[in-house]
Amino acid sequence: MKLDETDKQILQLLTANGRMSYADIGKELNLSRVAIRERVHQLIEHGIIEKFSVVINSEKVGKNVSAFFEVDCDPASLVEVAEHLANHPNVASCYQMTGPSTLHMHVLVEDFSKLESFINEELYSLEGITRVESHILLRRFKSRTGLKL
């Protein structure tokens, strides 16, 4: 599916407010609610819109410490380690990166004591991890809320 300018505008509006109604999008773009609904369904059907979700402010739900980790793994253990860590409730995201079997993780925890426990109990004790580097978030300037077209 090739995106036209209207599709891109619909995606930008939904990125800013995923709860925006088809009628409101139609008003913004001078199209009918039915036309918007059909376009959104096509975007979903073609996999351009993968899902609709909620962005939760982690600090307002008690997750006050945000840390990023670079985790090097033994190549034979990479997938097993990644799947284990990705299923941990404090892991917000986990990606395989270029480099020597490296995972990049974003972890959200309540406090520094919980971060220390996560590092000691989940990372240092997990077989297959060869190196861990951590970075604590001090201030957020921008979060990913969708691709800009």
Read off the pLDDT of residues 19-62 as tens digits, 9 standing for 90 and up.
999 999 999 999 999 999 999 999 999 999 999 888 888 888 99
Write down the pTM of the prediction: 0.78
- Quick one: tokens of 69? 């980790």
User: pLDDT value at position 143?
Assistant: 75
Distance (Å, whole) CA 115 – CA 121 = 10
Q: Which segments of the chain belong to CATH 1.10.10?
A: 5-45
Q: Is 92 exposed, middle or buried (0-12, 13-18, 19+ CB in 10 A)?
A: middle
User: Does position 145 have pLDDT exceeding 80, yes or no?
Assistant: no
Alpha helices, DSSP H, located in 65-142: 78-86, 112-118
State the architecture of 58-136 in CATH terms.
2-Layer Sandwich (3.30)
CB–CB of 132/71 below 8 Å? yes
User: pLDDT value at position 98?
Assistant: 87
Helix (H) or strand (E) holding 73: strand 65-73
> What percent of the chain is predicted at pLDDT more than 70?
96
Q: CATH: 2.70.98, 1.10.10, 3.40.50, 3.40.630. Which one for 5-45?
A: 1.10.10
User: pLDDT value at position 148?
Assistant: 65
